[in-house]
Structures are given as structure tokens and as C-alpha cells.
Amino acid sequence: MAQNSSARRRALIVEDEPWFAMSLEADMQALGFDCDLAANGQDAFLQAMEDAPDIVLMDVNLEGGREGIEAARWLREVCDIPVVFVTAYSDPDTIERIHEQVPDAPVIAKPLYRERLASAVAEVGAS
């Protein structure tokens, strides 16, 4: 898992809906994380390379496409960062695609994410 030198843990939130990104940021800060925000895969790559986070919270649907799955795969493979998906796309086909690309990544449905966020963060070992 990626580590960084600061005492506080870091989360990278990849979400293109500003209101939801800020809500996730507040929730992660309550769990003891400093947060960076990215609205698309390219910004996520740049931020992860600059300051490796301890965990990534990833939306599936970014800027009109489903690039979130590919971005998460890259972040896990290249940067060795654990990923938790927080998405409105929790249909069986999307879940299957997620687990093909990013095996064992927790998937939290957006309407219910608050109930599962702390346990999903702990599940990937970032707590």
C-alpha cells in the first residue's frame, strides 16, 4: 500500500459532482484523513503521482463516461493504492466490470454510502 511521510492519512476523492465530492471529503476528514479532490482520471493520476494517497474513493461515471474503472485499475496497478468505489452504478454488469478490472475493491452505492464508508476504508487497510 502507498505510504506517505505525514502523520495523517491521505485520501484521493475522484468525483466529478462537486457537491458530492465535498460531502465525501467531510466524511473522510471525520475519519481522520486529509483529502485531495480530482474530477477525472487524468487529474487523479497527476495527484497520485505527486502525493501518493493511502486510499482512493472512485466514482465509476466521470465526465460523461465510465473512465473511473480504468483509472482505478491504473492507480492500483501502478501506484499500489487501495480503491473503494462510491458510485450510483451498482448494477450487476458494472459490479462485474469493476471486479474484473480492480479485484476485491469494495463498491458502495451512493445513496447508502455513509453507512458503509468507514467499514470499506477499514476493509482495504487504509485505517
Q: Count how many domains the chain has.
A: 1
| Crossing angle (nearest 10°) for helices 113-123 and 18-30 | 60
Domain of residue 101, CATH code: 3.40.50.2300
pLDDT of residue 115: 64
CB 48 within 8 A of CB 84: no
In this prediction, residues 1-22 reach a mean pLDDT of 79
Tell me the per-residue pLDDT of 26-80, one tens digit each, with 9 for 90 and over.
999 999 999 999 999 999 999 999 999 999 999 999 876 768 999 999 999 999 9
What cell numbers appear for 81 in the block?
493504492
Grid cell 491504473 is found at: 74
In this prediction, residues 105-119 reach a mean pLDDT of 77
- Residue 67 located in a structural domain: yes
- Residue 76 located in a structural domain: yes
pLDDT of residue 90: 83
Tell me the per-residue pLDDT of 19-28, one tens digit each, with 9 for 90 and over.
999 999 999 9
- Residue 127 located in a structural domain: no
CB 87 within 8 A of CB 110: yes
- Residue 33 located in a structural domain: yes
- Beta strands per DSSP E along the chain: 9-14, 33-38, 55-58, 83-87, 107-109
How many percent of the chain have pLDDT more than 70?
Answer: 87
Report in angstroms the alpha-carbon separations of 104 from 95, 101, 125.
11, 10, 12
Residue 97 belongs to domain spanning: 16-120
pLDDT of residue 2: 44
- Residue 5 located in a structural domain: no
CB 59 within 8 A of CB 42: no
- Residue 126 located in a structural domain: no
CB 69 within 8 A of CB 102: yes
- Residue 3 located in a structural domain: no
- Residue 7 located in a structural domain: no
